Chains A and B, each alone.
Chain A
Amino acid sequence: MSNSDLLDELRRRELRGGGWSFFGSRQVSLEATPLAILCLLAERPSEAPRLGKLLSDAQLADGSWPSFVGDRESSWTTALAVCALNSVNDPSKARERGESWLLRAKGQEGHWFWRWKFKTADRNVQFDPDKYGWPWISGSASWVIPTAFSIIAIKQFTVCNRSEESEKRIHLGREMLLDRACVDGGWNSGNSVVYGVPLRPHVEATAIALLALQDEQRTEVIQKSLSWLRQNAASVDSVSSLAWCILSLFVYQEPIGGLKNRLATIIGDGRDIRNNATLATAILALKCGEMIHPFEVLR
């Protein structure tokens, strides 16, 4: 099965009004849709205006995106939408408004009261509350995946002209990621040690955090995490995790040929991959090296 057949499968699953749900419902997911847009763009750049409009139509008044169309609450998917608009090179103000929302958003521990609480009363989870990133949804703490995508989105958008404010926010997000890395490298959802027990890394969170840190100095944390990911990618059989491994290892110039072959074997004609976000991520991974990497950050 070729990549273009997989793309056809993804295209076939687009909802009549535009956009993609996760599993074929009518609810447009703003995680699945930006990922699918990134896939389609590589094949048909002429569709960029339509795909860009699809996203800007779903943007909320405050510049953020919800997790699905119909919801009115801001969500982490804002970062993914900005990444997709970066690829579309969207000329509207949607990207700028998205980035500006990202600069304002922060995990709940960004508030002085919670920082004080985590420093004094609540020490069961070990982390430095002064270093905060982005939450999945307003009203909760910072977590690794939303923080990583937000950093990528801001880095990409500001690559030619980075304001001091953007630089500061990237720096804080990067510090948060480094602070919350697992003891032996890699990342769990957002904590490294809870009740004195070191947590083990998750493949997807590690791969996405490494994507956010691709242009940073190769500190010991990054090196250890990269080697953890390299080792674990060899035995991952789940489509989504394996695809994120490929996307991440590629930007670190690690060999990915074997992993791509394994991914292609697992997904076959793609019809058994019912989750559209997973199918889109797998297509992006299989096309790694043949297209501009959608999450690459230029130095």
Chain B
Amino acid sequence: MKLDRRRFLGSSVGVAAAAGVTAEWVWPKHTVSYRRPRSAVAVLNAAEYSERIEALLLDGLRLFRLQVLGRSVLLKPNLVEDMPGPVNTNSALIGAAARCFLRLGAVRVVIGEGPGHQRDTELVVQAAGLKPHLAERQIEFVDLNRDELRKVKLKANYSGLGELWLPSAVLESDFVVSMPKVKTHHWAGVTLSLKNMFGVVPGMKYGWPKNLLHWSGIHECILDICATVPIHFVIADGITAMEGNGPLHGSPRQLGKIVLADDPVAADATCARLMGFDPLRVRHLSEGGHFLGNLREDRIRMLAEEVGAPTRPFSVLPEFRYLLAVKS
């Protein structure tokens, strides 16, 4: 048979595609799957950060019948910088969450964060207004940038990193709660419960910012980290969110919502919809929907309010206009 250029190209494409499929089958990108048949999400309305948040949150958490009795809970808020604006997860919500988990029977609640930009963690904790909440119930704060580290083999292989050193406080906790601030992000599109887990990667090893994760691919690293450190629950702070040039220099956006979920992909997909984005267009979400949780609306059971598209989608940098959901 004569092999002309067209046939050669066609065969090459075919061989490459077959090799790709085989490679995925022989060397799967992930060795775990946390996806369940259905996930639960509750969107709570909260106009402001007030003392009433705790009661609202407790009622919301009870919808999920969480099994935290006698377990140690790690709250992982998003504390990035000591700067004004809705940059960090609000301390009133973090404090309320800590008190709620203690009331639900958790034996220990620890708040842990490894700020990615500011090296002086004390400065960030002070500026976020977290200190009174820590003192009130003697809740411990762990600086995840400087905790004792253990080398861990990653349970997914999108970044090619293979392994990471991770803090003992994270690896030893029974129940990890990701508490993101709902924000746009100038590298990842959005920063929600999955991206929030960059904060468990220790600065003492990887620096400030954790630049290796950027060089290895942000979406890829998010998938690898979240496959390795499973998120058991999400409390997303969408009361005052951030749009535009997030995660630091965007504008406040009053969304008035707290999103609770027993699945981080479902939580982030819901937050993305609340922001007016199509979650399928967020790379780490669309891929995470294969194994980290449920992305599709028909697999998400809404325990409280249904998610409607916002009257006006969150503004984004021009590079991220593709995230905007097409109006049906």
Within 8 A of A (CB), among B112-155: 117-120, 122-123, 126, 143, 146-149
- The yes or no answer to B31 lying at the interface (CB within 8 A) is no
Tally inter-chain residue pairs, CB-CB below 8 A: 97
Task: Identify A67's interface contact among B123, B204, B245, B317, CB under 8 A.
Answer: B204
Decide: B119 and A205 in contact? CB cutoff 8 A.
yes
Decide: B117 and A189 in contact? CB cutoff 8 A.
yes
Decide: A275 and B123 in contact? CB cutoff 8 A.
no
Closest to B145 in A: A22
Decide: B148 and A26 in contact? CB cutoff 8 A.
yes
Closest to B124 in A: A238
Decide: B207 and A140 in contact? CB cutoff 8 A.
yes
Decide: A25 and B205 in contact? CB cutoff 8 A.
no
Chain A nearest CB from B174 CB (Å) reads: 20
Query: Cβ of B118: which chain A residues have Cβ within 8 Å of it?
Result: 202
Q: Spot the interface stretch: B17-25, B65-73, B209-217.
A: B209-217
8 contacting pairs across A/B (C-beta < 8 A): A25-B148, A68-B204, A140-B215, A189-B117, A189-B208, A194-B186, A202-B120, A238-B123
Within 8 A of B (CB), among A186-206: 188-189, 194-195, 197, 200, 202-205
Contacts from A to B (Cβ < 8 Å): 21-23, 25-27, 29, 31, 67-68, 71, 75-76, 108, 124, 135-137, 139-141, 143, 145-146, 188-189, 194-195, 197, 200, 202-205, 236-241, 275, 277-278
Decide: A146 and B207 in contact? CB cutoff 8 A.
yes
Query: Cβ of B146: which chain A residues have Cβ within 8 Å of it?
Result: 22-23, 29, 275, 277
Query: Cβ of B204: which chain A residues have Cβ within 8 Å of it?
Result: 22, 29, 31, 67-68
Chain B nearest CB from A285 CB (Å) reads: 14
Closest to B186 in A: A195
Decide: B122 and A239 in contact? CB cutoff 8 A.
yes
Chain B nearest CB from A150 CB (Å) reads: 13
Query: Cβ of A237: which chain B residues have Cβ within 8 Å of it?
Result: 126
Decide: A136 and B206 in contact? CB cutoff 8 A.
yes
Shortest Cβ-Cβ A-B pairs, 9 listed: A136-B207, A25-B148, A140-B211, A22-B146, A238-B123, A238-B122, A197-B249, A27-B148, A241-B120
Decide: A238 and B120 in contact? CB cutoff 8 A.
yes
Query: Cβ of A25: which chain B residues have Cβ within 8 Å of it?
Result: 147-148, 168
- The yes or no answer to B49 lying at the interface (CB within 8 A) is no
Task: Identify A241's interface contact among B123, B148, B212, CB under 8 A.
Answer: B123
Chain B nearest CB from A74 CB (Å) reads: 12
Within 8 A of A (CB), among B196-224: 204-209, 211-212, 214-215
Report Cα–Cα, A237/B124, bound state, in Å. Answer: 11
Decide: B126 and A238 in contact? CB cutoff 8 A.
yes
Chain A nearest CB from B210 CB (Å) reads: 9
Report Cα–Cα, A108/B215, bound state, in Å. Answer: 9
Query: Cβ of A139: which chain B residues have Cβ within 8 Å of it?
Result: 212, 215
Task: Identify B208's interface contact among A21, A22, A23, A143, CB under 8 A.
Answer: A143
- The yes or no answer to B307 lying at the interface (CB within 8 A) is no
- The yes or no answer to B64 lying at the interface (CB within 8 A) is no
**Contact mask B142-179 → A, CB, 8 Å, 1/0?**
01001111000000000000000100100000000000
Decide: A143 and B211 in contact? CB cutoff 8 A.
yes
Query: Cβ of A71: which chain B residues have Cβ within 8 Å of it?
Result: 149, 165, 205
Task: Identify B120's interface contact among A67, A188, A195, A240, CB under 8 A.
Answer: A240
Report Cα–Cα, A204/B215, bound state, in Å. Answer: 25
Task: Identify B143's interface contact among A23, A124, A140, CB under 8 A.
Answer: A23
Closest to A196 in B: B245
Query: Cβ of B186: which chain A residues have Cβ within 8 Å of it?
Result: 124, 194-195
- The yes or no answer to B83 lying at the interface (CB within 8 A) is yes
Query: Cβ of B245: which chain A residues have Cβ within 8 Å of it?
Result: 195, 197
Closest to A197 in B: B249
Report Cα–Cα, A135/B207, bound state, in Å. Answer: 8
Report Cα–Cα, A202/B81, bound state, in Å. Answer: 10
Decide: B207 and A204 in contact? CB cutoff 8 A.
no
Within 8 A of A (CB), among B211-242: 211-212, 214-215
Task: Identify A137's interface contact among B117, B120, B148, B212, CB under 8 A.
Answer: B212
Task: Identify A195's interface contact among B126, B165, B212, B317, CB under 8 A.
Answer: B317
Closest to B168 in A: A25
Query: Cβ of B120: which chain A residues have Cβ within 8 Å of it?
Result: 202-204, 238, 240-241
Closest to A146 in B: B207
Chain B nearest CB from A184 CB (Å) reads: 15
Report Cα–Cα, A197/B208, bound state, in Å. Answer: 19
Report Cα–Cα, A290/B159, bound state, in Å. Answer: 50
Closest to B167 in A: A25
Candidate in A76, A189, A236 with the most chain B CB atoms within 10 angstroms: A189
Candidate in B120, B165, B214 with the most chain A CB atoms within 10 angstroms: B120
Query: Cβ of A76: which chain B residues have Cβ within 8 Å of it?
Result: 207
Decide: B147 and A23 in contact? CB cutoff 8 A.
yes
Contacts A202-B118, A240-B122; is A137 near B143 (CB within 8 Å)? no
Decide: B211 and A135 in contact? CB cutoff 8 A.
yes
Query: Cβ of B209: which chain A residues have Cβ within 8 Å of it?
Result: 143, 189
Task: Identify A136's interface contact among B83, B165, B168, B211, CB under 8 A.
Answer: B211
Chain B nearest CB from A196 CB (Å) reads: 8
Query: Cβ of A203: which chain B residues have Cβ within 8 Å of it?
Result: 120, 123
Query: Cβ of A205: which chain B residues have Cβ within 8 Å of it?
Result: 119
Report Cα–Cα, A25/B146, bound state, in Å. Answer: 10
Chain A nearest CB from B10 CB (Å) reads: 31
Query: Cβ of B206: which chain A residues have Cβ within 8 Å of it?
Result: 136-137, 140
Chain A nearest CB from B237 CB (Å) reads: 23
Closest to A22 in B: B146
Report Cα–Cα, A234/B149, bound state, in Å. Answer: 35
